[in-house]
Amino acid sequence: MTKPPAPAAMLESSMAAMSFPPFCIATKGILVQTNGLSTPARGTRAGRRRTRRAIVRDAQQGGFARRMTQETRPDVVWHTGHVCRGERAARLGQAPLTLWLTGLSAAGKSTLAFALERALHDRGRACYVLDGDNVRHGLNRNLGFSPADRSENIRRIAEVARLMNDAGLIVITAFISPGRADRTTAREIIGATSFLEVHVSTPLAVCEARDPKGFYGQARRDELADFTGVSSPYEAPEQADLSIDTAQVSLADAVDQLLQLLAGPSAQR
């Protein structure tokens, strides 16, 4: 019986064979596909004619064209560059996407995210972790934990993840992101074809027993308001791309599951 390839090998072979969107450029403020034109061809008369006949590739460009046409502000002009998402992805040799880790506090999201980042980096992938605690030291330091602030927190992170994906990076987010509506908004901002949802489904009892920051204890003593799982609800994903209970699997096995997800058809849709 042939031994199945290791997850790391699966990731390498899958990404090596992965096809990238045809190179694209901007014309009249809209990202368009150039049907595989090479850089020299775009400078020729024939190349320019082919470019004018190109079609909008909204889905593969992370929703840029849709957002530009539907959410335009009259007082702000979109400036389009000369290098597109497909070209950046091809330069890095990877398909940019966002792996969205959601779950209760102390479920293991950050631990998983940084371990996966290490594994991807060691395999030559350009990636970055957006961590819920870390971004509140800077970008989101003015936000609290009210429902409105939580929604704004997720919106900002989704916008940052989209920009990082446009730069060609693989993004791993680690946020409680308790509301389904907010996660749906994140998916819409990032683009459904670039978004993978992972539910870190560690049970509340396990998370509360861990309580590394002491937050569950404070919440139970009514010293901490709006704490997810105690005084604020968590809406679990109904159709996550992957569910991981860190109380049942080792960190190494969990990372392998994430690598397999990235190498599988869900990451190449």
State the catalytic residues. Answer: 177
3-state secondary structure string across 229-255: CCCECCCCCCCCCEEECCCCCCHHHHH
Helix/strand number for the chain, H first, E second: 12, 7
Paired tokens of 77? 């002009």
Structure tokens at 265: 């058809």
> What ranges make up the beta strands (E) of 23-108?
24-27, 30-33, 98-102
Tokens of 162: 């989209």
Tell me the Ramachandran region of residue 50: left when phi exceeds 0, alpha when psi lies from -120 to 50, beta otherwise: alpha
Q: Which residues contact 65 (CB under 8 A, 6 or more apart)?
A: 30, 31, 56, 57, 58
* Of 266, 8, 246, the residue nearest 104 (C-alpha): 246
d(CA 20, CA 211): 43
